[in-house]
Structure 1
Amino acid sequence: MAADRDAVVAIWDACGLTRPWNDPDADFLRALGHEASTVIVAERGARIVATAMTGFDGHRGWIYYLGVAPDHQGQGLARRLLDAACEWLRLRGCPKVELMLRDGNPVAGLYEHLGWEQQDVRVFARWLT
């Protein structure tokens, strides 16, 4: 699946999910670099049209970079990717899954519509590199 990197990162870019301080190519390769994470894709023909990165830290599962190519949005692909990511986590014994959504993300209502609940938490970060 490493050969899919360019197509996957292109979707992340098209959906506004990348940030200058995160290298999406490195994120993709790290996700595939060990068994605790993966990148799930949806294809139409030979074209990747949607993607989600997921991982399990032993306590919680996480979903990142959920994106659907703009010309394929509204077709239920986000729901199917979320279901596939949850199943991947469930098979690894994960009891709960969370996803991070940046403030101002215009698709916040999608997650509520699909049964996800906003949590009362704040995320803190610290760079290790």
Structure 2
Amino acid sequence: MSAREAGATLSVAPIEDADVADIVTLWERCGLTRPWNEPAADIALARRDTNATILVGREGEAIVATALVGHDGHRGWVYYVAVDPGHQKKGFGRTIMEAAEDWLRKTGVEKIMLLVRPENTAVRAFYESIGYGEQPRIIFAKWLDGRPLTP
């Protein structure tokens, strides 16, 4: 069901300076933050160059959805896809992901990637429902400041 069919509309636009605190609050409410990642720093980094942006979905004046989208010059990546728990099941997740895909298409990127924690079965089902498929990969990571790996 789309946002329009549910009787709700979501307008999507790039982040504005005044949005940062509300976005961090949304990410916390959606359980997307981790102690080792500072969300405001992630926002600042995404806004620093033209290869990334944060798309903000609003219902009226309220921020109810986000997607941090960017590319590494080869593949597109999406992070911090969030829909306020009180606004889920309205098609907003699909709408914000379509906006992220459109942003990447406009930059010439042909493939979008995202990471989902294995235990997050509800989100896995959502992405499968909008045409995403699992591609088994082994992920290697390293903190550049020397701290031990986080879960």
TM-score, structure 2 normalization: 0.83
User: Quick one: distance in 2 between partners of 1:111 and 1:122?
Assistant: 20
Of structures 1 and 2, the one with the larger relative CO (CA 8 A, separation 6+) is: 2
TM-score (norm 1): 0.96
Q: Is the 8 A contact 1:2 1:29 kept in 2?
A: no
Identify which of 109, 116, 135 aligns with 1:94.
109
User: Larger radius of gyration, structure 1 or 2?
Assistant: 2
Number of residue pairs aligned between Structure 1 and Structure 2: 129
**Per-residue deviation, 1:111:** 0.5
Aligned partners of 1:70 and 1:111: how far apart in 2? 17
Counterparts of 1:112-123 in structure 2, within 5 Å, are 112-123=128-139
Q: Which moved more, 1:47-56 or 1:97-106?
A: 97-106
Following TM superposition, the consecutive aligned residue runs of length 4 or more in structure 1 with deviations greater than 4 angstroms are none
Change beyond 3 A, Cα 1:128–1:2: farther
Q: Tell me, which stretches of 5 or more residues in structure 1 are unaligned?
A: none
CA RMSD of aligned residues (A): 0.9
- Structure 2: gaps spanning 5 or more residues: 1-15, 146-151
Alpha-carbon separation, structure 2, partners of 1:10 and 1:122: 31
Using the TM superposition, give the Cα deviation of residue 4 of structure 1 relative to its aligned residue in structure 2, in angstroms: 0.5
